[in-house]
Structure 1
Amino acid sequence: MPEEIKLIQPVPVARDEMGSFQHPDMPDFDEGDGDKCKAWIAEQRLKVAMLSLEYADEAVADRYFESGDPDYSYWDPDKPEGEGWFCLAIHDADDGPVCWWARREMTP
């Protein structure tokens, strides 16, 4: 009998002093683990949307990119439209901070 998959559930977002967050039930993926990450997302039946601070409110983006300060705790990423979205992660990436939103896809 196949092992039952524990589906990730929404949790309160507790960001660190710099503004980062990772859902406690999300695996740690290293650079180059794109296929592993995609497989986990599919196994979890998630739809993921990424929001970049670079394309957020212009004043917030200017504050981050012009300050040279790695703190982005003041950024409050907007949820995508629709029901059921929860935060998977907020972290710094090559082009600045990003937020990964997820929601469960309906099963056919």
Structure 2
Amino acid sequence: MTFPERIGPATVVRDPDGFWTHPRYFEPESDEARQGEFGDWLHRHRLTCRTCWMESDAPPPVTAAWEAGDSKACDWQPSAPDGEGWFIGSIHDTEDGPICVWLREAR
């Protein structure tokens, strides 16, 4: 099996709302990802991931502002998972609130 070029850390420059996506991050084949498509992408690129939700990671004033209608995640600095080699794949909003997807080479 041939694997695509590896994906590694990139400089994170968040937009005015506090979001950012790695230039080589997962893109679904259609408007909505099919079940397992993200996992297939991780496997092809020999990556593993961990997620961090702003709701349970940010300081209380940041989550309170979000819940009060502030649609920005600028003041949230996502906590990296334990271990070496993690880099941010994406900080984006979801139906359940902001999430940070951490990536690293699968071991």
Common fold by TM > 0.5: yes
SS in 2 for 1:96: coil
The Cα offsets for residues 38-86 of structure 1, whole Å up to 9 and x where unpaired, read as: 10011112110010011113232112112x1211111111111110000
Identical amino acids, percent of aligned pairs: 33
Which residue number corresponds to residue 54 of structure 1?
55
In 1: Cα distance, 2:8 partner to 2:90 partner: 13
Task: Work out the CA distance in 1 between the residues paired with 2:26 and 2:43.
Answer: 14
Structure 1 runs of 4+ with >3 Å offset: none
TM-score when normalising by structure 2: 0.87
TM-score norm. by structure 1 comes to 0.86
TM-superposed CA distance for 1:103, in Å, is 0.9
Residue number in structure 1 paired with 2:25: 26
Classify 1:4/1:105 alpha carbon distance in 2 versus 1 (closer, same or farther; 3 Å). Answer: closer
Unaligned runs of 5+ in 2: none
Alignment partners' CA distance in 1, 2:102 and 2:3: 24
How far apart are the structure 2 equivalents of 1:74 and 1:33? 32
- RMSD (Å), alpha carbons: 1.6
**Matches of 2:35 and 2:14, distance apart in 1:** 24
Alpha-carbon distance between aligned partners in 2 of 1:27 and 1:76, rounded to the nearest angstrom: 22
Judge which range, 30-39 or 78-87, deviates more. Answer: 30-39
Letter paired with 2:27: D
TM alignment of 1:32-47, pairs within 5 A: 32-47=33-48
Structure 1: runs of 5 or more not aligned: none
